[in-house]
């Protein structure tokens, strides 16, 4: 039996149904067409559309993922005033590198399904992207799709719940996570190195576990010598900034610490007092040398560039690399000093909760996950109670 059709397009026969969806400003009827290979298929498309409208959904047929996500990112997220510049720069990078020209980026929101997202993640994993990186992409995409649900573009978030799995290596293949730390020989070289600004910044991290941006964001009045405390109230970061026309530029800025717990007060080690005073002395010497060209806007910061500007993260990294080479120490990122501090604290039996608070982690679970290998080694040192009792009998 031949399939009934009612119109032809490009030499092919279809069945078309018209549906009134309202009136325009002139009182004329607004109609929407539903086309299928048969009347049954066209009717189904119409019914699906009516159900979506009744559920409060908007027509997302021509709302492409990449295009709509970009609009959300620059017109909603950026303009909300609730996002740090560094966070927005990270989001923009995730969009540009993983969504804009991706296999799912050209899909309309109403056609996007969990299995398509899963296949994309699997492809990224096979290409060498880590589980952590894919997880960042998923969190970002999930956040946008929650917005799409709120706006009525889609009924459900295809990333919510357990609809999508983050690809991971089999547990028996996963090697123990390596956390870079400096050995005692390297630390001795750093401590005995010729006095300099980069040495003092390094010793600050080594003795407090502070992040790089937190150290170069310290002001003189953040140090309480009487109560022997350091108040961490801000961080300095070099990041991509987008102007009103979304033009990109690199800038060094001051912003709130990384998380709520990052804004904290930690003990001031006695060994750090002289280092702070020596650092301030370097700053004053550089100010005197630069004369009128020295920037007067940041005088209360402990660490500044030779011209009195906030220290650029890229420049600090270069200086750090040069410093390690001069001491014949294998290169490790500056952040390895923070890892070294935490490891030394564990080795001295400082409780996990205390170390987590000192580091400014948002949760104790983060600390435990990062330093799993250290905790394991410390547990292996625990006493064999039965063996100790036997020796006493």
pLDDT per residue as tens digits for the range 225-253: 999 999 999 999 999 999 888 888 999 99
What is the average pLDDT score of the chain?
87
Bridge partners, residue 224, by sequence = 229
Bridge partners, residue 241, by sequence = 249
User: Which pair of tokens denotes residue 110?
Assistant: 């109403």
Average pLDDT over residues 85-92: 94
Helix (H) or strand (E) run with residue 322 in it? helix 313-326
Per-residue pLDDT for 217 more than 80? Answer: yes
Cα separation of 188 and 172, whole Å? 38
pTM: 0.75
Q: How confident is the model at residue 209 (pLDDT cuts 50, 70, 90)?
A: very high
Backbone angles phi, psi at 262, to 5 degrees: -75, -25
Per-residue pLDDT for 56 more than 70? Answer: no
Q: Is the dihedral of CA 343, 214, 189, 281 positive or negative?
A: negative
User: Which of 32-46, 178-192, 233-247, 305-319 has the least mean pLDDT?
Assistant: 32-46
CB distance 99 to 141 below 8 Å: yes
Q: Which letter does DSSP use for residue 28 in this model?
A: P
Cα separation of 92 and 140, whole Å? 10
Per-residue pLDDT for 44 more than 90? Answer: no
| Cβ within 8 Å of residue 243, ≥6 positions away | 249
pLDDT per residue as tens digits for the range 313-372: 999 999 999 999 999 999 999 999 999 999 999 988 899 999 999 999 989 998 888 887
Model pLDDT, residue 50: 64
Give domain limits for the chain.
7-54, 65-150, 184-379
Cα–Cα distances (Å) from 322 to 8, 198, 303, 327, 385, in that order, read: 73, 10, 18, 9, 50
| CATH homologous superfamily for the domain 184-379 | Intergrase catalytic core (1.10.443.10)
Cα separation of 52 and 98, whole Å? 29
CB distance 104 to 119 below 8 Å: no
Cα angle: 109, vertex 114, 115; to 5 degrees: 120
Q: How confident is the model at residue 69 (pLDDT cuts 50, 70, 90)?
A: very high
Average pLDDT over residues 68-78: 92
- The total number of residues written for the chain in this structure: 393
| Cβ within 8 Å of residue 375, ≥6 positions away | 346, 352, 368
Q: Is the dihedral of CA 118, 120, 125, 131 positive or negative?
A: negative
Average pLDDT over residues 23-36: 69
Model pLDDT, residue 110: 84
Q: Residue 203's closest CA among 276, 144, 117, 130?
A: 276
* DSSP track, 164-205: S------TTTPPPPP-----HHHHHHHHHSPP-HHHHHHHHH
């Amino acid at each position: 039996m031949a399939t009934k059709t009612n119109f032809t397009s490009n030499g092919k026969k279809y069945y078309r149904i018209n549906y009134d969806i309202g009136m325009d400003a002139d009182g004329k009827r607004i109609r929407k067409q539903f086309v299928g290979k048969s009347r049954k298929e066209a009717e189904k498309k119409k019914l699906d559309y009516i159900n979506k409208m009744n559920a409060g959904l908007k027509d997302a047929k021509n709302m492409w993922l990449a295009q709509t996500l970009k609009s959300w990112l620059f017109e909603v997220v950026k303009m909300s005033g609730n996002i740090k510049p560094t966070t927005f720069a990270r989001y923009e990078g995730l969009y540009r590198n993983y969504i804009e020209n991706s296999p799912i980026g050209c899909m309309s929101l109403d056609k996007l399904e969990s299995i398509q997202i899963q296949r994309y993640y699997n492809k990224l994993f096979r290409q060498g992207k880590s589980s952590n990186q894919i997880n960042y992409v998923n969190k970002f995409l999930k956040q946008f799709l929650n917005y799409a649900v709120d706006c009525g573009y889609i009924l459900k978030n295809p990333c919510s719940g357990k609809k999508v799995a983050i690809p991971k290596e089999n547990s028996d293949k996963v090697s123990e996570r390596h956390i870079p730390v400096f050995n005692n020989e390297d630390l001795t070289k750093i401590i005995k190195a010729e006095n300099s600004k980069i040495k003092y910044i390094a010793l600050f991290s080594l003795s407090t576990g502070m992040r790089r941006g937190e150290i170069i964001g310290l002001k003189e009045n953040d140090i309480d010598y009487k109560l022997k405390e350091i108040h961490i109230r801000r961080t300095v970061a070099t990041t991509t900034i987008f102007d009103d026309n979304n033009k990109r530029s690199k800038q060094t800025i001051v912003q709130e610490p990384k998380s709520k717990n990052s804004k904290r007060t930690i003990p001031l080690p006695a060994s750090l007092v002289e280092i702070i005073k020596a650092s301030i002395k370097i700053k004053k010497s550089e100010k005197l040398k630069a004369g009128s060209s020295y920037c007067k806007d940041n005088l209360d910061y402990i660490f500044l560039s030779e011209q009195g500007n906030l220290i650029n993260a890229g420049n600090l990294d270069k200086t750090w690399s040069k410093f390690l080479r001069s001491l014949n120490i294998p290169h490790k990122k500056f952040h390895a000093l923070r890892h070294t501090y935490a490891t030394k604290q564990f080795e001295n039996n400082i409780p996990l909760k205390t170390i987590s608070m000192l580091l400014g982690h948002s949760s104790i679970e983060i600390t435990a996950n990062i330093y799993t290998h250290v905790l394991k080694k410390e547990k292996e040192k625990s006493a064999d109670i039965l063996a100790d009792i036997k020796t006493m009998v």
